[in-house]
Amino acid sequence: MSQELAIDPRPAPARGEAAPLEEVLDHVLQKFTPGATLPGEHPGLADFARNLRNDIPDHLLDRQLRSLSHAGFLRGALVILAADLRQRPRPARALLLSRELLDAIDPALGIEVARALLTLPEVEGSRLEIGSTYTQIHMLLADVLHERGEPGQALRHFEAVLAADIDNPRALRGWRSCVRVLEQRGLSTHSNNRGLVVLDGLAEVELSRGFNLERYDLGRPLGRGRHAVVYQAHDRRTGRDVAIKRLLGDGKGRHSRVIEARFFAEARTLAGVRSPYVISLLDVVPQQRFIVLSLCRGGNLRHALRRQLIGPSDLPRVGNQLLAALRAVHAVQAIHRDIKPVNILVRQAKPGSAIALADFGLALRNTSGPTTQVGTLRYMAPELRTGRAQPSAMTDRVSAGIVLLELALYPQPLPDAFDKLEDFDPSEAVPDGLPDNWSSVLRMLLARDPAKRRQPIISK
């Protein structure tokens, strides 16, 4: 049994365990300053720096930070934010920094920032306030550590939230999930928090609200997006576990109707695709605004990498499966448009498990004429970054190639150019010597010229 999964008997985290915030901020500056765009080189960064000095509300800063990230200037924004915090350490703004680092760019450094924040007296002083920076930091750390396969550490952070907000359903769900994992490993999960056992079961009560299900027994939530939430469920008719994806909201208003139309367009696209490497559509219930999908127990590709269920040596296997999924999608004249690690699921939580391409919410079928530019910058084809072309099967192939390149390089990150808006040749980032001729395959998928992105002939 791995020692890192055992419960730490100390409260998490105790004062003095983490590095001082100033030291961690210096680490951020040292890492991201080289190559960062300066405020004088981009008006958006200059405006961001000015807003930091003028103390505009944090939620507006968060919105501007995300906009800069989408535009490819995240490195420069992080440097500006860290430098400002170095002079004026304000917890709520440092929490913005931690969240951006945790969002795949540098999770380990994001954890360092969050833990350093917990050593600040003003944060510690708000520990019993519901919704305080203290509880937000603990919730953030709990979610990340649970996701990273460290339930013992995550459990203590969930308990810190519940100590202030005993009926917080999200923290309770996480706490119960950690307890189950640890008990399955034969570890003690004795809690010093009063009321947790009494409230055990609140999550099930909460999940059942708003559903009128006869065929499906609803279980725990698996994930939540902007417009929908996914639950694990049991199909009484077939006796199998499934995933239920349900729209949020009441369906009223023009915007809600547009979202609902896209939601069921996803179902129609999935209904036409036949591949063992694409998530399967099992049922559609328009009256309750949900669809039923095959259940994947291994999380998404990013989670599987962090949990060491998948690694660079799996490139030939995962690559073959992802390209087979793309062939099936393109065979029905559909374009996925948002291929990235979080939209690639792993069937089982064990090494060697197959993948399944999922989340067709942005997919297009039988389209002609201009379309709205969507997707994630890091995984965009060169011609989409510069607006020279429309989404196509060729741009899907680039996205798949970037995902597979990220897998091949792991744990090293993708080169910085992938997170910037400027045009570049992604094939130049492919290393030599990848197994089974995958260096050549990736260069073909990532070719700057779309005409050279042929569907590769690969071994089974």
The candidate with the shortest Cα–Cα distance to 110, out of 25, 53, 38, is 25
Which whole number is the average pLDDT over 406-431?
A: 92
Q: Report residue 200's pLDDT band, with 50, 70 and 90 as the boundaries.
A: very low
Do 12 and 160 meet the contact criterion of CB atoms below 8 Å apart?
Answer: yes
Which whole number is the average pLDDT over 163-183?
A: 79
Do 76 and 82 meet the contact criterion of CB atoms below 8 Å apart?
Answer: no
Q: Is 271 helix (H, G, I), strand (E, B) or coil?
A: helix
pLDDT at 37 (0 to 100): 86
Q: Report residue 218's pLDDT band, with 50, 70 and 90 as the boundaries.
A: confident
Say whether 8 is catalytic.
Answer: no
- Identify the structural domains of the chain with CATH numbers, from first to last: 3-198 (1.25.40.10), 210-294 (3.30.200.20), 301-452 (1.10.510.10)
Active-site choice (338, 359, 396, 419): 338
The reply to whether the predicted model has a pTM over 0.75 is no
Do 415 and 429 meet the contact criterion of CB atoms below 8 Å apart?
Answer: yes
Enumerate the H helices of 101-132 as residue ranges: 107-117, 121-124
Handedness of CA 186, 308, 240, 354 (dihedral sign): negative
Instruction: Name the residue with tokens 């994001």.
Output: 110
Determine which helix (DSSP H) or strand (DSSP E) holds 212, and give its type and residue range.
none
**Could you write out the three-class secondary structure of 375-403?**
CCHHHCCHHHHCCCCCCCHHHHHHHHHHH
Q: Report residue 295's pLDDT band, with 50, 70 and 90 as the boundaries.
A: very high
The strand pairing partners of 355, in sequence order, are 346
pLDDT digits (tens, 9 = 90+) for 390-411: 889 999 999 999 999 999 999 9
Answer whether the bond into residue 13 is a cis peptide, omega within 30°.
Answer: yes
pLDDT at 132 (0 to 100): 84
15-48 burial, b for 16+ CB within 10 Å, e for fewer? eeebeebeebbebbbebbeeebbebeebebbeeb
pLDDT digits (tens, 9 = 90+) for 356-365: 999 888 888 7
58-70 burial, b for 16+ CB within 10 Å, e for fewer? eeebbebbeebbe
Whether 42 has a pLDDT exceeding 90, the answer reads no
Which CA distances in Å does 110 have to 98, 105, 107, 224? 4, 9, 5, 22
pLDDT at 89 (0 to 100): 86
Which whole number is the average pLDDT over 111-137?
A: 84
